Structure 1
Amino acid sequence: MKEFYKNLKWYFLILLFMGVMFIWYTIFQEDKENYLMVAFLDVGQGDAIFIEAPNGNQILIDAGPNRKVLEELGKIMPFYDRSINMVIVTHPDNDHIGGLPSVLENYKIDKIIKSDRKSDTPNFQASEKIIEETKIEKILGKRGLKIILDNKKEIYLKILLPDKKSNEWNDNDFSLVTQLIYGKNKFLMTGDISQSIENYLTYIDSDELDSDVLKIGHHGSKTSTSELFIEKVSPEYSIISVEKDNNYGHPHQETLDTLNKFKTKILSTAEEGVIIFKSNGEKLYLK
């Protein structure tokens, strides 16, 4: 009889656990079904942006400088989710790909979009090896490429740069520049492009740049964030992905002065931690 009650206790605990998990999963799914989520992860001195569409499709743009990206992904992804549909690599600098080998080792990745720029760094070489071994589909990132995240909700991401004129640019300026669009809401992610490339972008895409949220280039360095560019983008929110008390003095005061001039709300991962936006295509919500 004791054995019976002992087993009954375990059955009850298992059922209770499954019930709690079902409720948690249901709430999580209901939240996903209504909103696009864009999370600027707190990875220190680097970039990592996680996007999830209402249908569950996910994109990770860059992976920060180290394994901290795994900790950040664990905060916003359920523990049972071990796959990401697509990774976009803006450029091969270590503060953008240092955590990529860890992501590739811990998550199933279907596709990776990147430029044809290469690097001799250990993290770049390790990433390339894993991509080849796991047969992840590689797509060349270039202007005109459009990625559908949610066909029903008409959510898509388009690549604005690099284009045919970009071949002579340095690695920072050759960054993949992406714009995420859901109804009335737009997010613009600029990698590490400099002011000259920002201004070039205003020339070729003058009427398309207006966005609610702008990821500020090069972690707030004064080499990025031209007045012309900010005027054209006219962001409600400007996100600076940066480490507190970093060795570069980012964000530079010149950048902050430019942003304040145009009265955009500045949010920094160094101060806020992970910064999460949700959109229903009509309104934008800062969590």
Structure 2
Amino acid sequence: MKKNNKPKLYFLLGFLLVNIFIWRTVFTEDRQGVLRVSFLDIEQGDAIFIEAPSGNQVLIDGGPNKIVLKKLAEIMPFYDRTIDAVIATHPDKDHIGGLVDVLKNYRIDFVMEPGVSSDTGAYQELEKIIAEKKLPRILARRGMSLNLGDGAHLNILFPDRNTDGWETNTASIVAKLVYGNNSFLLTGDSPIAIEKYLSMIDGKNLQSDVLKAGHHGSRTSTSESFANLVSPEYAVISAGKNNKYGHPHKEVLDILEKIKSRILKTYELGTISFSSDGENIRL
């Protein structure tokens, strides 16, 4: 006689649904009123995951390869397969190489990019998957602000013009994440020339609690004058251990130490996560 397994199946399904509900409730309660920003340890490259108090999520860059999926799984609940926005600061592989896998595995509302192209394989792959999925594309331009909900905003500071044909690092999207009295300045691989330009047009408005040091701590970014204007309590360097570029360079570390910023390196600490209630930032 065949055994009827339906009651057991219904019980297991019910148990699973209850557990998903419990986990969803735990994660929702945990983020109420709190902005979370995680600089993912994806070796030599950049990937920054933002979750607003509203639950809206943004991924800025995706590192060099699919390791970003593992790092996202460590900070996102298992049931969450959506990311509201993906921002590619510029089309270098160490920033966009992992985004192809992100777009394949998560539901994305739109992709934001600076408008500069590249002839690299990583860029061509990203272009292909964006086209296949028919994802909306937005050109980042100064003055734009992504309203992440509950008072959190991601403000675009650069580019402020057409970047077609530019050197890719120079075209990097620079954005300032603001929640209450706390802020994060995210600079991609912007070189010193762009830092000088932003210093002229933004001045003291660049001041931020957290600075993502440009270009993985390369001497081509984070000039002393720029660092002084930003005056960050924390400076994050996203780089791989013993990388072939020698990042971070001693000159940059010396500058950050001189302005008394607390320097945090992904290759030493792993993923670096901050939380903010709009008044205080905690590691």
Q: TM-score of the superposition, structure 1-length normalised?
A: 0.93
1:266 matched to 2:263: yes
Q: Which runs of 5+ in 2 are unaligned?
A: none
Partner of 1:32: 31
Partner of 1:194: 191
**CA–CA separation in structure 1 for the residues paired with 2:8 and 2:168:** 61
Q: TM-score of the superposition, structure 2-length normalised?
A: 0.94
- 2:182–2:276: 8 Å Cα contact kept in structure 1? yes
Q: Count matched residues.
A: 283
- 2:180–2:278: 8 Å Cα contact kept in structure 1? yes
**CA–CA separation in structure 2 for the residues paired with 1:159 and 1:231:** 21
Deviation at 1:34, TM superposition (A): 2.2
State the AA in 2 paired with 1:97: I
State the AA in 2 paired with 1:74: A
- 2:170–2:194: 8 Å Cα contact kept in structure 1? yes
Partner of 2:93: 94
- 2:35–2:50: 8 Å Cα contact kept in structure 1? yes
Deviates more, 1:231-240 or 1:27-36: 27-36
State the AA in 2 paired with 1:185: N
**RMSD in angstroms over aligned alpha carbons?**
2.0
SS in 2 for 1:173: coil
Deviation at 1:126, TM superposition (A): 1.3
**CA–CA separation in structure 2 for the residues paired with 1:173 and 1:262:** 25
- 1:241–1:268: 8 Å Cα contact kept in structure 2? yes
Deviations along 1:24-65, whole A, 9 cap, x unmatched?
221111012221111101111000000111111111101100
- 1:156–1:181: 8 Å Cα contact kept in structure 2? yes
State the AA in 1 paired with 2:253: L
Deviation at 1:195, TM superposition (A): 1.6
Deviation at 1:123, TM superposition (A): 1.6
Say which of 232, 237, 245 aligns to 1:248.
Answer: 245
Partner of 1:158: 155
- 1:237–1:267: 8 Å Cα contact kept in structure 2? yes
State the AA in 1 paired with 2:242: D
- 2:235–2:262: 8 Å Cα contact kept in structure 1? yes
Q: Structure 1 10/178 Cα, relative in aligned 2: closer, same or farther at 3 Å?
A: same
- How does 1:208-227 map onto structure 2 within 5 Å? 208-227=205-224
Q: Which runs of 5+ in 1 are unaligned?
A: none
1:177 matched to 2:174: yes
- 2:115–2:163: 8 Å Cα contact kept in structure 1? no
State the AA in 1 paired with 2:43: G
**CA–CA separation in structure 1 for the residues paired with 2:161 and 2:7:** 68
1:257 matched to 2:257: no
